[in-house]
């Protein structure tokens, strides 16, 4: 970037609702998207469902981002 500083966290927060490229139908944050691009299930709901189905899996705690 020719010596310019890039704040990756700021960049990811700014674009977290942008649909991700690929065939998974998720946004950059990991939320599941419907056919119109609306959020069907959040990332937190997806993780909760996964850990209910896989009780022996090591759980990760999802922290909410503070905007500011």
Tokens found for residue 15: 């674009």
d(CA 3, CA 12): 20
pTM over cut 0.75: no
Question: What residue ranges do the domains of the chain occupy?
Answer: 30-58
At residue 68, does pLDDT exceed 70?
A: no
d(CA 47, CA 55): 12
d(CA 13, CA 16): 5
pLDDT digit string (tens) for 28-63?
Answer: 889 999 998 899 999 999 989 998 998 888 766 666
SS3 51: helix
Binned at pLDDT 50, 70 and 90, residue 1 comes out as low
d(CA 26, CA 19): 6
The predicted model gives 9-28 an average pLDDT of: 90
- In the prediction, which pLDDT does 2 show? 83
């Amino acid at each position: 970037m020719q010596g310019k500083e890039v704040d990756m966290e700021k960049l990811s927060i700014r674009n977290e609702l942008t649909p991700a490229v690929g065939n998974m139908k998720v946004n950059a944050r990991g939320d599941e998207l419907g056919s119109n691009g609306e959020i069907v299930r959040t990332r937190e709901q997806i993780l909760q469902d996964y850990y209910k189905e896989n009780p022996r899996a090591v759980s990760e705690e999802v922290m909410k981002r503070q905007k500011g």
